[in-house]
Structure 1
Amino acid sequence: MNKAAELVSFEDVAVNFSWEEWQDLDDAQRTLYRAVMLETYSSLVSLGHCISKPEVIVKLEQGAEPWAVGEAPTQRLPGQ
């Protein structure tokens, strides 16, 4: 298969943040992240990629924080 014709997976283009990294983002950065990740997934699906919906996308669609995917936070912010 020609290298240019190979499929791109969601995991190839996804950006993942740890809980600590997510806490360092401000609201505008979190909003941008959600928008970009949802648009990226939508674009891959519209191109005919037969991929199951990643858990991070399900969480983002529900308004949940993506860092919770596959890991529980081990720290809490001060005052929590």
Structure 2
Amino acid sequence: MIISKEPVPFEDVAVDFTQEEWQQLDPAQKILHRHVMLETYSHLVFVGCSSIKPDVIFKLEHREDPWFIESELARYIYPGR
């Protein structure tokens, strides 16, 4: 087994939906997504792989819809572009 010393970026483990996809989820699926994303982020923080809190985590913590419009997601994943 190979163990990587590289930090895991949040966008590599995040599950994001378009607005259309999000609207097709039922309430239980939205709740499950929220719990999984918040737990995943907390694990990354615990092991030191995340130093900034992504906007999607703020949205999930405040029970807002987490979907990004395409340009917002692109700015997050590719901040230099």
TM-score (norm 2): 0.77
Unpaired runs of 5+ in structure 1? 72-80
Structure 2 matches for 1:41-60, cutoff 5 A? Answer: 41-60=41-60
Flag the 1:6–1:20 CA change in 2: closer, same or farther, 3 A.
Answer: same
TM-score (norm 1): 0.78
Q: Which has the larger radius of gyration?
A: 1
Which residue type is aligned with residue 33 of structure 1?
H
Instruction: List per-residue Cα deviations over 1:13-65 (Å, max 9, x = no partner).
Output: 00110000001100110000000000000000011224200000000001100
Alpha-carbon deviation of 1:3? 6.9
For structure 2, the residue ranges without an aligned partner over 5 or more in a row are 74-81
Aligned residues: 70
Alpha carbon RMSD of aligned pairs, Å?
1.9
Distance 1:6 1:30, change over 3 A: same
